[in-house]
């Protein structure tokens, strides 16, 4: 049986699939040519990440498909329920990239509280001629230790983010519609660990009491953070979105940054991917990454092998 990893797969994932006896194709097929390729090559399993979409028309046109796999968490690029109604298995890897996304959140947080995102733009341009001016501009940084981190969405990635915050010495508040408490286990390098109970707070408490907010929610029909939510936040707070584009009202976000209500934002996802709004890309108070939350070698290895194991469990 053939597996098409249309958006790529790690070497470890290919090796695991081949060890189970599958033929793995890593050709990147254009969306408009995908149906023909799947049918002509008798593809049984289609693996995607975020670039390829799997909608009803493709599902209907490819009767030999048995499994659709998403290398990552969110599956908003797949018509999941329709595929399952048609008898296909739809799988993803919700745990594999959690640590990678959480670490990216803190890359944005550390970078922003010390102005690294802006310093790295201006040092190459003015570092030689305006070193003292830049030193003064970036001298008023702050520490994360002792501050309050608010986590909105307390699933796997939200809890991984909380673990880092706890390890740094932050107070952690969390909001989630579906749970009311969670025990977060912070593991240390020597194998020891400490378990910290987190009581789920209200959205209003998290917004009003947190120095920094990190979003970990699935794709939504409307923004989770709009003007009214931004108004509830502390003066000078920071906001990070490494979840999905559209969960923040980007117009309201820019207004909050311009007014000083927020001191910074860190964005890994955007409403209009892959063409984010220029007002975001050029804003001096926004730290930017191009949707790379899960893009570490370690996460991709875990994703590949986890997909292989799930596929083999289904197809035997």
Catalytic (active-site) positions = 244, 273, 291
Q: Are 63 and 41 in contact (CB under 8 A)?
A: no
Q: Which residues pair with 173 in a beta bridge?
A: 150
Give the residue among 112, 121, 171 at the shortest CA–CA distance from 140: 112
Q: How many CA atoms lie within 13 A of 76 on its CB side?
A: 10
Q: How far apart are CA 34 and CA 32, in angstroms?
A: 6
Angle at 123 between CA 257 and CA 149, to 5 degrees: 40
Q: How far apart are CA 263 and CA 210, in angstroms?
A: 13
For residue 78, give both structure tokens. 């797949």
Q: Are 60 and 85 in contact (CB under 8 A)?
A: no
Q: How far apart are CA 77 and CA 72, in angstroms?
A: 11
Q: Which residue is listed with tokens 């994932």?
A: 13
């Amino acid at each position: 049986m053939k597996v098409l990893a249309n958006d790529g797969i790690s070497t470890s994932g290919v090796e695991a699939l081949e060890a189970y006896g599958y033929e793995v194709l890593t050709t990147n097929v254009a969306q408009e040519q995908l149906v023909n390729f799947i049918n002509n090559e008798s593809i049984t399993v289609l693996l995607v990440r975020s670039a390829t979409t799997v909608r009803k028309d493709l599902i209907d046109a490819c009767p030999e498909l048995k499994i659709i796999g998403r290398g990552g968490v969110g599956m908003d690029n797949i018509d999941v329920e329709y595929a399952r109604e048609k008898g296909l298995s739809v799988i993803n890897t919700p745990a594999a990239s959690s640590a990678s996304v959480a670490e990216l959140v803190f890359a944005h947080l550390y970078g922003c509280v010390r102005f690294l995102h802006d310093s790295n733009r201006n040092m190459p341009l003015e570092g030689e001629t305006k070193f003292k001016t830049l030193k003064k501009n970036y001298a008023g940084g702050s520490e994360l230790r002792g501050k309050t981190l608010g986590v909105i969405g307390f699933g796997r990635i939200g809890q991984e983010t909380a673990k880092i915050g706890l390890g740094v010495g932050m107070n952690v508040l969390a909001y989630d519609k579906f749970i009311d408490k969670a025990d977060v286990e912070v593991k240390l390098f020597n194998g020891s660990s400490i378990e910290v109970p987190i009581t789920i707070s209200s959205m209003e408490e998290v917004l009003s009491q947190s120095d920094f907010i990190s979003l970990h929610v699935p794709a939504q029909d409307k923004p989770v953070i709009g003007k009214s939510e931004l108004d509830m936040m502390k003066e000078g707070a920071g906001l990070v979105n490494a979840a999905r584009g559209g969960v923040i009202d980007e117009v309201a976000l820019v207004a909050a940054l311009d007014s000083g209500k927020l001191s910074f934002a860190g964005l890994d996802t955007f409403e209009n991917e892959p063409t984010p709004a220029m007002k975001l890309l050029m804003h001096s108070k926004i730290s930017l990454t191009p949707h790379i939350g899960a893009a570490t070698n370690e996460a991709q290895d875990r994703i590949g092998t986890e997909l292989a194991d799930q596929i083999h469990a289904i197809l035997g």
